Structure 1
């Protein structure tokens, strides 16, 4: 991988922080629109709008289209992992778990991705980076365990299961994204994965839901456009571009920032309480980010 200059690495860190902030918007926006549409239909519409808009942008800008069948196969797998399984777990899990907590649980995915990255990418994190990822994972557990042990454990357990499915799908998609990043235009790649991911979601929605039951209110349209254009199109394009410049474990370490931001959104917009365990767990996760980033900075010197 090409070594980044000091200014370029600072710009990369800023970009990764922006991705975390955009990602954190997703669960609050899902909560706003969830009462107006069946869950899988909502998820499929999000993928379709994002993919279609990006396809139009790619055509308008004349972006290069991949020629190799293998590249298209990877983009299809990324779409199924990140979009189909990721959105299935995300939209269903948000029904049972608060927005801030849902984002926290889903972001065990950096730890899962680290386990997959070595055999699939030959990216072996150093001992400091492993410690950092483990600290991030422990921080997530500190936040997630108290409500699981509380009185709403049955709903929380079901939501947790859906969110783990989302985490596994996103982790797999991120590993494959790192594999093809740099070889495909980010706009084309993001459009393709959204449209590939839309197909299983829409097919499942037709079977198990009534897609015509959508209530096209202003709040639903606003949440759909926010999810599709900001939380998907913009965030995924930026993420795809960044993964062509940084190792997966370094990029994924910054996703541990998302729960900080998401819980702040939850407190600000939904009146969610922030418990002492939340500060403790997110502090541990922040320490994990510092471990990963400081070791990566030493390697760049």
Structure 2
């Protein structure tokens, strides 16, 4: 990990403002992420959580692997790279999906989307520690405002009749957010050492393995109802919310600082709660409105403030240089 971090710290150019095209792609990624919890909520009516999550990962990973083969993307040759991809898969896919699918049993989709997006704060801290990405005080304030907004939205749920279920759901969301944050940082550390399409295929398939084992061991022969609604939710999750979203996201991380890219993920709770209101009857209360305003303010502060250049770390001799 230390070697990957050192290499990543010096291989990147100093952070710059996000270009219009990159901003549009980040907006699309936020939209696709906002679709996930609503689609999971629909699909869980027809399948148990581990089986549903494993199918999502297997379909997405296989699709990405076929695309990587079709476009003749290079296969990683370094054992260290494969180990790093396995770590990304265990974090982003295994823990991320485990938390998301179980949280959907306890928390409404809009609210779950909002709380999950506290992940950028954790990822920014990890990027600062391991990738040497430096944050100005205004950027730190922006990330803090986003996190405060999520807390404000969550507070009304405590003390209500469904408090126990909500606490369990938040615990699962914390597992998902932590896994995704670790996966983001490790993938960012890999940088240009691995092709993004091949990396996403590998990490998703790695992550599918523990989910598949858990589905077989814990859910056994629980029936999946292959209804049109389930098929639509499964394919949309696998192909759009996973394969396309992951590829776009980690491709962008090769040229956009993680802390700035993560700022756009604060758009996801706004969109997610909008989906919850339209399709699941969720209500926009005062706390929710204030929390969403804090989140948007956080985005503006992080994106409008030019970040400091990363600190330099000693660069080990790469395999290419040895050759």
Task: Report the TM-score range of the alignment, normalised by the length of the smaller protein.
Answer: over 0.9
Structure whose CA Rg is larger = 2
Deviations 1:102-154 (A, max 9, x none): 11111111111122112211112121111111011001111111112322101
Distance in 1, matches of 2:185 and 2:240, equals: 22
Please give the per-residue CA displacement for 1:160-194, whole angstroms capped at 9, x wherever unaligned: 11111111111111111211233322211111111
Match of 1:2 among 6, 13, 28: 13
Secondary structure, aligned partner of 1:182? helix
Gaps of 5+ in 2: 1-11, 310-323
| Alpha-carbon distance change, 206 to 261 in structure 1, aligned in 2, over 3 angstroms | same
Distance 1:247 1:137 in 2: 19
Check whether the contact 1:41–1:211 (CA below 8 A) recurs between aligned residues. Answer: no
Please show how residues 4-19 of structure 1 align to structure 2 within 5 Å: 9-19=19-29
Aligned pair count reads 299
Tell me the residue number matched to 1:198: 208
Which of the numbers 62, 66, 82 marks the counterpart of 2:76? 66
Residues 155 and 4 (structure 1), Cα distance of their counterparts in 2 relative to 1, 3 Å cut? closer
Equivalent position to 1:210, from 220, 223, 229: 220
Note if contact 1:36-1:215 (Cα within 8 Å) is conserved in structure 2: yes
Q: 2:143 aligns with which of 133, 139, 153?
A: 133
1:95 aligns to what? 105
Change (3 A) 1:171 1:271: same
Q: Would the alpha carbon gap of residues 125 and 158 (structure 1) be closer, same or farther in structure 2, given more than 3 Å must change?
A: same
Which of 37, 46, 56 aligns to 1:27? It is 37
Name which of 70, 76, 93 aligns with 2:86: 76
Unaligned runs of 5+ in 1: none
Which of 126, 129, 148 lines up with 1:119 in the alignment?
Answer: 129
- Helix, strand or coil for the counterpart of 2:161? coil
CA distances 1:270-294 after superposition (whole Å, capped 9, x unpaired): 1211112111101111111111111
Give yes or no for contact 1:205–1:211 (8 Å, CA) kept in 2: no
Report how far residue 218 of structure 1 moved.
1.0
Q: Distance in 2 between matches of 1:101 and 1:84?
A: 22
Structure 1 or 2: more helix by fraction: 1
Distance 1:211 1:45, change over 3 A: farther
1:104 aligns with 2:124: no
> Which residue matches 1:263?
273
1:157 aligns with 2:167: yes
Q: Distance in 2 between matches of 1:178 and 1:115?
A: 14
- Per-residue CA deviation, residues 37-94 of structure 1 (Å, 9 max, x unaligned), is 1101100100000000111111111111111111111111011001000100000000
Which of 176, 179, 185 matches 1:169?
179
Give runs of aligned pairs for residues 271-286 of structure 1, distance below 5 A: 271-286=281-296
- 4+ residue runs of structure 1 moved beyond 6 angstroms? none
